[in-house]
Amino acid sequence: MTVSCTWIAVDWGTTHLRAWAMSASGSILAEASSADGMGTLDRAGFGPALDRLCADWDTVPVIACGMVGSRQGWAEAPYATVPCAPLTGPFATVSSDRFTVQIIPGLKQPTPADVMRGEETQIAGFLAQNPNWDGVICLPGTHTKWVHISADEVVSFQTCMTGDLFAAISGHTVLRHSCAEGWDDAGFAQGLDDALSRPERLAARLFSLRAESLLHDLQQPQARARLSGLLIGAELAATKPYWLGQQVAVIGAGGLAHLYVTALATQGVSATQVNAERTTLAGLTAAYHLWKDTL
Amino acid sequence: MTVSCTWIAVDWGTTHLRAWAMSASGSILAEASSADGMGTLDRAGFGPALDRLCADWDTVPVIACGMVGSRQGWAEAPYATVPCAPLTGPFATVSSDRFTVQIIPGLKQPTPADVMRGEETQIAGFLAQNPNWDGVICLPGTHTKWVHISADEVVSFQTCMTGDLFAAISGHTVLRHSCAEGWDDAGFAQGLDDALSRPERLAARLFSLRAESLLHDLQQPQARARLSGLLIGAELAATKPYWLGQQVAVIGAGGLAHLYVTALATQGVSATQVNAERTTLAGLTAAYHLWKDTL
């Protein structure tokens, strides 16, 4: 059965491909996803992957965000330079057998050097839902972004690869024997406090997780949560100029975003938590209207 | 041809097995090594591995140090507790078909929790060669040790898993695309200075290596050396109570030990560099005499 729709919203990252069939009024008519992320495709594979996923949907305009627009993606959408609005033209245009796709450019900051791809669309979605909002947006993930917003523009941003570090340290160092699985809130709180109160001591804290498991029978859930607290604490110490005394919104509904909200609360920052998928869709919708209005 | 010797010195770590046939006066009569480290052996494999390596050597007492004495090793030699001399009894005794082996215990520190195995023998060797030496010994490696020595005892020590972190971050995060190979002294110096001058900003420095490679064509040798400088700088920031204003000896002849000496020099600390293999042998020799004298 064919899905009749006006346009298709696509979030295409390194490990996933998600699509929504949208009505003219912004309702979701159908959705689909696959594991055809950028990391698994060569350049010729993107078009067929999209055509497969949306085989039963109308042939309508497609708006896509994420790593699909990187140099290793389907077509490079060169970065816009901050300070700028999160959505700027021109989009990169590319075609599959069935669809013409507009790819949203990421953002770059020359100094300190930084880049984002995909988060700019969530930022645009958040600002569409919260007009005239000034403050700092935190987007937790493998590479967490801290983004300073003023007058509907991205003024500056900072990436911390905390999720990437956590996976590498808990999976590929001696701590893999001590931090393999489980969770413990008190362990997280302790790691967070250790790192925030003495951030310069971080390098000396990590091996103690191993030593305490050998000497004092520290359990894996406690050790794993403390490692997470140490790394998020180190991130908060490094990004203090972003969040201190600011209005903060954390985009993400899951457990990781909740950890950031909890961590910020210990520092007296009451952050708002926002659903990530709705925010992404709001951003893709804003991009669709921007593209349509400039036709 | 059989090698005639008085005793055999063995350094048996996670990834290597090294043996030296020794004369009564302490000369090296023969040496041998293999890849039969603790990590590749089950408990029944240690004896045959030693017998194979020393097949042509006399059946004489063997003194061994390293991970061979851990819980996952040949026989557990329970940790001695600091403060104590680096070599203390009792040794763990175990036998192969041909040899009786004395295994040197490691050291533990209950608070802050820390452990070492193998380094205590190098420390004993250094002190045998430098009587009445007070100061701090740095033993660079996968898990670098900082050891406070006073009155021939280990007073306290601190492990930083900097080598382990470097391998995990350069091999198993997004930085693997930017830090795969090469070296650049200026990059090391920059990373070191960044981390030492603002250690609390470490979490924000790492992703910039990736962003600078994307935006400013930062080359792999520079990025790799800067990552090393950042991590060793973070270690020096964390261990400042150990080395500040102290007499420091770095045990190790290789490039890694030289990096620590270079890094300490930027902080006004003129560290002495000591050959690791000779120091290990001096420690095993001291252990042999300690064992022989208590027979």
Per-residue pLDDT tens digits for A37-78? 999 999 999 999 999 999 999 999 999 999 999 999 999 999
CB-based contact A207 B160, cutoff 8 Å: yes
Q: How confident is the model at residue B217 (pLDDT cuts 50, 70, 90)?
A: very high
Q: Residue A253 pLDDT more than 80?
A: no
User: For B161, which DSSP code?
Assistant: -
Looking at chain A, which residue has its C-alpha nearest residue B241? A201
Q: CATH code for A159-274?
A: 3.30.420.310
- Residue B182, pLDDT score: 96
Cα–Cα distance, B188 to B223 (Å, whole number)? 9
- Residue B254, pLDDT score: 86
Alpha helices in chain B (DSSP H): 46-53, 119-129, 162-172, 185-197, 202-215, 220-238, 240-243, 255-266, 276-293
Question: Within an 8 Å CB–CB cutoff, is residue A202 touching chain B?
Answer: yes
Strand order in the sheet with A107-109: A80-81, A107-109, A114-116
- Cis geometry, peptide bond prior to residue B86 (ω within 30 degrees of 0): no
- Token readout for B74 is 């040949």
CA distance to partner chain B, nearest, from residue A207 (Å): 6
CA distance to partner chain A, nearest, from residue B177 (Å): 12
Q: Residue A293 pLDDT more than 80?
A: yes
Q: Tell me which chain B residues have a C-beta less than 8 angstroms from the C-beta of A240.
A: 200
- Token readout for B38 is 């603790």
Cα–Cα distance, B276 to A4 (Å, whole number)? 73
Report the length, in residues, of chain B. Answer: 295
CB-based contact B174 A143, cutoff 8 Å: yes
Question: Within an 8 Å CB–CB cutoff, is residue B134 touching chain A?
Answer: no
Q: What is the pLDDT of residues B85-119, one digit of tens each?
A: 999 879 999 999 999 999 999 999 999 999 999 99
CB-based contact A203 B239, cutoff 8 Å: yes
Mean pLDDT along residues B149-178: 97
- Residue A102, pLDDT score: 98
- Residue A89, pLDDT score: 79
User: Which CATH entry fits the domain spanning A7-117: 3.40.190.10, 3.30.70.1520, 3.30.420.300, 3.20.20.70?
Assistant: 3.30.420.300
Strand order in the sheet with B17-22: B28-34, B17-22, B7-12, B62-65, B100-103, B92-95
Q: Is A131 exposed, middle or buried (0-12, 13-18, 19+ CB in 10 A)?
A: exposed
Q: Tell me which chain A residues have a C-beta less than 8 angstroms from the C-beta of B169.
A: 165, 168
Angstrom distances, CA of residue B12 to CA of A74, A236, B40, B119, B275: 51, 42, 12, 12, 18
- Chain mean position to CA B3: 29
Q: Residue A96 pLDDT more than 80?
A: yes
Compute the mean pLDDT over every residue in chain A, rounded to the nearest whole number: 96
- Chain mean position to CA B46: 21
- Contact partners, residue B72, CB within 8 Å, separation at least 6: B38
- Residue A229, pLDDT score: 98
- Residue A294, pLDDT score: 85
- Token readout for A74 is 């389907």
Asked if residues B266 and B189 have their Cβ atoms less than 8 Å apart, the reply is: yes
Q: How confident is the model at residue B283 (pLDDT cuts 50, 70, 90)?
A: very high
Q: Tell me which chain B residues have a C-beta less than 8 angstroms from the C-beta of A210.
A: 115, 161
Q: How confident is the model at residue A281 (pLDDT cuts 50, 70, 90)?
A: very high
ipTM of the complex as predicted: 0.95
CB-based contact A215 B113, cutoff 8 Å: yes
CB-based contact B207 A161, cutoff 8 Å: yes
Mean pLDDT along residues A201-210: 95
- Residue A144, pLDDT score: 97
Compute the mean pLDDT over every residue in chain B, rounded to the nearest whole number: 96
- Asked whether this chain's domains A7-117 and A159-274 adopt the same fold, the reply is yes
Q: What is the pLDDT of residues B65-82, one digit of tens each?
A: 999 999 999 999 999 999
Question: Within an 8 Å CB–CB cutoff, is residue A255 touching chain B?
Answer: no
Interface of A with B in 158-187 (CB under 8 A): 158-162, 164-165, 167-169, 171-175
Q: Residue B253 pLDDT more than 80?
A: no
Q: Tell me which chain A residues have a C-beta less than 8 angstroms from the C-beta of B205.
A: 238
The closest CB to that of A160, out of B169, B171, B203, belongs to: B203
- Contact partners, residue B85, CB within 8 Å, separation at least 6: B124, B152, B153, B154
Question: Within an 8 Å CB–CB cutoff, is residue A237 touching chain B?
Answer: yes
Looking at chain B, which residue has its C-alpha nearest residue A205? B160
CB-based contact A211 B115, cutoff 8 Å: yes
CB-based contact B173 A168, cutoff 8 Å: yes
CB-side neighbour CA atoms (13 Å) of B283: 31
- Residue A295, pLDDT score: 72
CA distance to partner chain B, nearest, from residue A199 (Å): 5
pLDDT above 70 as % of chain A: 100
Q: For an interface test with B, give the residue of A107, A165, A198 to mutate (most B CBs within 10 A).
A: A165
Interface of B with A in 5-44 (CB under 8 A): none
Q: For an interface test with A, give the residue of B147, B200, B240 to mutate (most A CBs within 10 A).
A: B200
- Residue B74, pLDDT score: 97
Q: Residue B160 pLDDT more than 90?
A: yes
Q: How confident is the model at residue A88 (pLDDT cuts 50, 70, 90)?
A: confident
Kindly list the domain boundaries of chain B, sorted by start residue.
1-112, 159-274
Q: Collapse the DSSP code of B3 into the 3-class scheme (helix H, G, I; strand E, B; otherwise coil) and give the result.
A: strand
Mean pLDDT along residues B187-213: 96
- Residue A292, pLDDT score: 94
Question: Within an 8 Å CB–CB cutoff, is residue A214 touching chain B?
Answer: yes
Looking at chain A, which residue has its C-alpha nearest residue B162? A203
The closest CB to that of A203, out of B113, B215, B234, belongs to: B234
The closest CB to that of A235, out of B113, B203, B240, belongs to: B203
CATH superfamily of B1-112: 2-keto-3-deoxy-galactonokinase, substrate binding domain (3.30.420.300)
Asked if residues B70 and B121 have their Cβ atoms less than 8 Å apart, the reply is: no
Cα–Cα distance, B258 to B64 (Å, whole number)? 27
* Chains A & B: contacts with CB separation below 8 Å: 148
Mean pLDDT along residues B10-32: 96
Looking at chain A, which residue has its C-alpha nearest residue B236? A203
Question: Within an 8 Å CB–CB cutoff, is residue B119 touching chain A?
Answer: no
pLDDT above 70 as % of chain B: 100
Q: What is the pLDDT of residues A145-161, one digit of tens each?
A: 999 999 999 999 999 99
